[in-house]
């Protein structure tokens, strides 16, 4: 039971990191869209 809970926490942790990374990329992409493209 403890191992299962630990595995679940790791999955949630990885999901949170991916969501945060996508959020940062999305914000950066919006900033890049404001600047003129080369």
Give the model confidence (pLDDT) of 5-15 as tens digits. Answer: 888 899 999 99
Half-sphere exposure of 34 (CA within 13 A, CB side): 5
Quote the tokens at residue 7. Answer: 């595995």
pLDDT band at 4 (very low <50, low <70, confident <90, very high): confident
pLDDT at 38 over 70: no
User: What global pTM score does this model have?
Assistant: 0.57
pLDDT band at 37 (very low <50, low <70, confident <90, very high): low
Q: What is the pLDDT of residues 13-35, one digit of tens each?
A: 999 999 999 999 988 887 767 66
């Amino acid at each position: 039971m403890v191992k299962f809970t630990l595995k679940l926490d790791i999955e949630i942790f990885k999901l949170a990191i991916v969501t945060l990374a996508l959020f940062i990329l999305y914000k950066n992409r919006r900033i890049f869209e404001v600047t003129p493209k080369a």
